[in-house]
Amino acid sequence: MGARKRLRAENNKEAKKQVSFASLRNVPTSPRKMRLVADMIRGKEVNTALDMLKFSSKEASRRVEKLLLSAIANWKEKNEGVRMEDANLYVKSINVDSARILKRLRPAPQGRAHRIRKRSNHVTIYIDSNVDNQQEIKS
């Protein structure tokens, strides 16, 4: 690996240590259905997002709720002295990417076959504190 590439990789690694996130891989739900839930909480305060997910009727919201709780736990681990209520956490970004697709065949009339695609996805949630951003603006 070249010097520039190594330096950039080290910088990316250090930047990732500062960010609190959680990711969920190979969720057996179509990305389109998961994006509906992700759009619902993007940019919202963490407590509001948890309430929205808890009372949502969508099946994907249960998985995203658990993932958000994991991201909050990761944030607490990095910021041990800070209370969650004082930090004013919010969902900075949430990404839903397509994962592997299982391809199956379903019999069709007259000896034909129709392809069925069983889609899955990857979800990543980034959370951040509004207090840090407000202090930077005031400075």
- Asked if 92 and 58 touch (Cβ cutoff 8 Å), the reply is no
Task: Write the pLDDT tens digit of every residue in 71-101.
Answer: 999 999 988 888 888 889 999 999 999 999 9
Which domains does the chain possess?
A: 21-138 (3.90.470.10)
Is the distance from CB of 127 to CB of 70 less than 8 angstroms? no
**pLDDT bracket for residue 17 (50, 70, 90):** confident
- What percent of the chain stands above pLDDT 90? 78
Residue 41 has pLDDT above 60, yes or no: yes
Alpha-carbon 39 to chain mean position: 11
